[in-house]
Structure 1
């Protein structure tokens, strides 16, 4: 696919972003339908999950969201495009922001400005949306409303920033050589992760891939870390204690665009629980699970400097019959 084709896909995605913000929610289905192929499948975070078609997407997701946040606005921090398995893809991350006026997903409205962190990957065919994957930091939304769906993480709970370089929203394709360099670095880093010997973190040799001042922006419930040591202490070690045999899953796309890379899967990870706790929650051993994950990376020179990470934490707990939304339903009674 040429860079012109990729940029046409990018333009289709920007049209969708405009629809999400500018359209009155009563007209959302018609506007979505105009930009989507018939029956396009959407996969969203638990408890929304999989949806097919524009009307269902509007009814199950966009209308309730816009009803709860009537002054809704989309603020993109990263938008990149590329080709994966002969298809065009556009990946983006940032925040939805609005005043939380009405309850959403059972989370009580606090009538305060609220940020909804998102990661999204769209498949584009003939300049129309053919499908999408979106992970929302719903745990973070609840936290802002004063509700802890899961225990607080070991990392810092912060408002995740845009790239340090403020160049993440790309309106045209980066040089092929730079895009390829970024993609190869990420793939080498992931290859290192797969060398884990289940004994020492050093077996993965991650210092070869990460900048000394790396920033890892994890979801609420895990948090933000700085430097390789912080990443290993506050996320990687507890994560690998929890699922030491994790392997890759069904990656829907992995694309490079200049010095940025995005990757996501449904699921991204297959694993078996060890019996170690995760996010300060007791977890039984021997359970086969999947994990929905989405990553965005920024390369600086020959090293990875920033990593924005999304994990569908409610879906992980659901697989252990832990319903993180149950306390909200009890409060409604």
Structure 2
């Protein structure tokens, strides 16, 4: 069990206050509409406390969790679900009184066996979907619960094979370089077939959805995104680590792009330059990429487009009543 799993074993504020795994000056950034949180006390009250208030019986269910070094820093990267009974509002989303699944993805920086920096995505649009209050159009891809790795070995207990890990990390780096070769006209100018398994699964965030195969990815995510952000590129990589067949990378923000194309998420172009926060978890298989779990802070992007999805949600609820 890595340090993140140890931290989340119990959501009790009293126990967390005494939790030596959290540095006193820890910095915790959570996807929109959360604002950056500083200090152990504030993290306990304004992150853990918020989740615990909405889901008193909250439980953490990771299905990928790896650790490694990037730029001489130690990182733990994980993705999975928080689950529990949704009894009180969460960021204005009305409770259902039923089980809820909150998809999370996170990267945590460690120093001296303490957590000092964390970046967390919570897929709140997916929560809106589960409650039935999402104001956006339906996802082009599949919407619903996503799957853990088909090999069921994402929460790694095996020792690290450095050669395999480095090979797969380079595979991801080379594939990301390939994505940057789009000629602005033809999606096939990007040779995904060289890097991706034909039955590749892209587990996208709510509002985009999950896609199957290279053609599904191109149709349901890549084409709309490239049309909307033709000048997109990498802003800064926060971390890039690997463990055997799993690779994690991301940034806060990780990309940049000017929103000049219409119809991404069914919305008109805003003309604004945006900085997507993105996190990816990859599973490699026999020298190609087989599965990809993707977190994108879409509420943050919408906010940059001048759209308050939480206000729109309230308006939708009011209109229904």
Query: Which TM-score applies when normalising by structure 2?
Result: 0.95
Say whether residues 1:187 and 2:178 are aligned partners: no
1:49 pairs with 9, 27, 35, which one? 35
> How far apart, CA to CA, are the structure 1 residues paired with 2:108 and 2:294?
17
1:311 pairs with 296, 301, 309, which one? 296
Mapping of residues 1-333 of structure 1, within 5 Å: 11-18=2-9, 22-24=10-12, 26-27=13-14, 29-32=16-19, 34-285=20-271, 287-330=272-315, 331=317
Offset at residue 174 of structure 1 (A): 2.0
User: Does the Cα contact within 8 Å between 2:123 and 2:205 map onto a contact in 1?
Assistant: yes
Offset at residue 328 of structure 1 (A): 4.1
> How far apart, CA to CA, are the structure 2 residues paired with 1:197 and 1:28?
54
> How far apart, CA to CA, are the structure 1 residues paired with 2:110 and 2:149?
25
Identify if the C-alpha distance between structure 1 residues 171 and 13 changes in structure 2 by more than 3 Å, giving closer, same or farther.
farther
> How far apart, CA to CA, are the structure 1 residues paired with 2:299 and 2:5?
29
- RMSD across aligned C-alpha pairs, in angstroms? 1.6
Offset at residue 37 of structure 1 (A): 2.0
Note the alpha carbon deviations across 1:247-293, whole angstroms, 9 max, x for none: 101211010110000011010101111232211112223x2110000
> How far apart, CA to CA, are the structure 2 residues paired with 1:321 and 1:236?
23
> How far apart, CA to CA, are the structure 2 residues paired with 1:82 and 1:207?
28
Query: Which TM-score applies when normalising by structure 1?
Result: 0.92
Secondary structure at the counterpart of residue 95 of structure 2: coil
User: Does the Cα contact within 8 Å between 1:44 and 1:135 map onto a contact in 2?
Assistant: yes
Secondary structure at the counterpart of residue 290 of structure 2: strand
Note the alpha carbon deviations across 1:73-121, whole angstroms, 9 max, x for none: 0001000111100011110000000011111110000111110001011
Identify if the C-alpha distance between structure 1 residues 201 and 134 changes in structure 2 by more than 3 Å, giving closer, same or farther.
same
> How far apart, CA to CA, are the structure 1 residues paired with 2:73 and 2:65?
17
User: Does the Cα contact within 8 Å between 1:265 and 1:293 map onto a contact in 2?
Assistant: yes
Offset at residue 329 of structure 1 (A): 4.3
* Structure 1 segments unaligned to the other structure (5+ residues): 1-9
User: Does the Cα contact within 8 Å between 2:106 and 2:119 map onto a contact in 1?
Assistant: yes
Secondary structure at the counterpart of residue 251 of structure 1: coil
> How far apart, CA to CA, are the structure 1 residues paired with 2:192 and 2:146?
23
Offset at residue 29 of structure 1 (A): 4.8
Offset at residue 31 of structure 1 (A): 3.8
Offset at residue 65 of structure 1 (A): 0.9
> How far apart, CA to CA, are the structure 2 residues paired with 1:319 and 1:174?
40
Q: More deviation in 55-64 or 219-228?
A: 55-64
Secondary structure at the counterpart of residue 291 of structure 1: coil
Identify if the C-alpha distance between structure 1 residues 130 and 320 changes in structure 2 by more than 3 Å, giving closer, same or farther.
same
> How far apart, CA to CA, are the structure 1 residues paired with 2:150 and 2:300?
31
User: Does the Cα contact within 8 Å between 2:86 and 2:96 map onto a contact in 1?
Assistant: yes
User: Does the Cα contact within 8 Å between 2:86 and 2:99 map onto a contact in 1?
Assistant: yes
* Structure 2 segments unaligned to the other structure (5+ residues): none
User: Does the Cα contact within 8 Å between 2:11 and 2:52 map onto a contact in 1?
Assistant: no
User: Does the Cα contact within 8 Å between 2:134 and 2:313 map onto a contact in 1?
Assistant: no
User: Does the Cα contact within 8 Å between 2:65 and 2:154 map onto a contact in 1?
Assistant: yes
Secondary structure at the counterpart of residue 175 of structure 2: helix
Equivalences, count: 318
